Amino acid sequence: MKIESVRIAGFKNLKGLQLELGSGVNGFWGENGQGKSNLLEALYVSVKGTSFRPYSHRADWLPDDATTLLVCVSCRDDIGLLYECEMFYDPTAQSWTWKLNDKKARVPALAEKIPIVVFSPDDHALIREGPDHRRRFLDSVLVDVCPGYSEVLGRFEKVLKSRNRLLKQYQREDISDYTAEMDSWSRTLAVEAEGVAMLRREVWPRFHGYFQQVAGPLFEALSGTVDLHFEQDSVEKSEAFNKVNYYQVLKTEYRKDLATGWTHRGPHRDDFRTEVGGVEARTKASQGQARLLALSLKWTHALWVSLERREIPLFLIDDFSNELDILRRKKLLEMLGQISGQILITGTDSNTILAANFAEYRHFNVKRGEISPA
Domain 1-115+314-374 in CATH 3.40.50.300? The answer is yes
- What pLDDT does 134 receive? 93
pLDDT of 247:
95
pLDDT of residue 338: 77
Question: How many angstroms separate the CA atoms of 180 and 175, rounded?
Answer: 13
Please count the CA atoms within 13 angstroms of the CA of 99 that sit on its side-chain side.
Answer: 14
117: left (phi over 0), alpha (psi -120 to 50) or beta: beta
Q: For residue 174, how many other CB atoms are within 10 A of its CB?
A: 6
pLDDT of 20-44, one tens digit each? Answer: 999 989 999 999 889 999 999 999 9
Residue 127's pLDDT is what? 92
pLDDT of residue 125: 87
- Residue closest to 352 by CA, chosen among 335, 327, 316: 327
In the predicted model, residues of the chain with pLDDT beneath 50 are none
Amino acid 27: pLDDT: 92
From the CB of residue 165, how many other CB atoms can be counted at a distance below 10 Å? 13
pLDDT digits (tens, 9 = 90+) for 273-298: 999 888 899 888 888 788 888 889 99
Which residue(s) pair with 2 in the sheet? 76
**Domain assignments of the chain as residue spans, ordered by start:** 1-115+314-374
Q: Which residues contact 138 (CB under 8 A, 6 or more apart)?
A: 200, 207, 270, 272
Q: How far apart are CA 256 and CA 263, in angstroms?
A: 8
Are β-strands 25-29 and 343-347 bridged in parallel, bridged antiparallel, or unpaired?
parallel
**Of 213, 212, 211, 218, residue with least CA distance to 330:** 218
Q: Which amino acid is at 288?
A: G
What is the pTM assigned to this prediction?
Answer: 0.88
| Residues written for the chain | 374
SS3 sequence of 204-255: HHHHHHHHHHHHHHHCCCCCCCEEEEEECCCCCCCCCCCHHHHHHHHHHCHH
The pLDDT, as a whole number, for residue 152 is: 95
What whole-number distance in Å separates Cα of residue 51 and Cα of residue 41?
Answer: 6
Largest CA distance in the chain: 67
Question: What is the C-alpha to C-alpha distance for residues 332 and 99, in angstroms, rounded to an integer?
Answer: 34
Q: Which of 306, 268, 334, 340 is nearest to 141 (CA)?
A: 306
| Rounded alpha-carbon distances, angstroms, from residue 138 to 28, 58, 143 | 28, 21, 9
